[in-house]
Structure 1
């Protein structure tokens, strides 16, 4: 199993969560083909919307790939993006700044945003667990308080 980060605006992540899918790199299939059933994806949103939304800098969703191959859809006559089906976990939007010092994939904390410029990239189990734990902790606490 591989863990991924997909850099996507919050508005696009929200569409993906509602539709139970992900797209990557503006609809291109290359990185989606590298993913396998059971892989985990954490979504990082630098902005609320693309390209001119407000700065956000937060992890906005987490899910697991549930299909075997990318598939293409028609959004408009000129845009046919590739997608993967994803089951999303219940989680809370989580700012990245408190986590920066704990993430191994960030090699230079003064330039922490550099890695996200690649769109989709792999992370190790340690980094996945740091982010997953932060994103699901408040959901677990809320469930405990409400029961």
Structure 2
């Protein structure tokens, strides 16, 4: 009887393990949309670099993350990630001079446009723009 329960429990675990790649792929597809004209999967990315003003306290620099948390409230964002520059090995092609970066994924270019003019986004910019001296934006269509 104990062996039968072990086999029953094990077969459920094996089914879950077998389904994991399918579930992972389904989750990845949530970050992409189908371009109706080409039939290809695409993801819109909004990548932003922030250089905060010199002379800010470490607390002010840390508190700047409130800006990103406000942006999370804008609808149609698939995912939002932010962080500080990494202390990676210096190379000619590496620019770690920025303070924070922001990476936002959208399903469509229209969703990105809504984000850009959304009142939550505009209010957050108004509230936090006093902290930065430079911002660079890169919007891309990933295939």
Q: Which protein has the larger Cα radius of gyration, Structure 1 or Structure 2?
A: 2
Same fold (TM over 0.5): no
Bigger fraction of residues in helix = 2
TM-score, with length taken from structure 2: 0.24
TM-score, with length taken from structure 1: 0.23
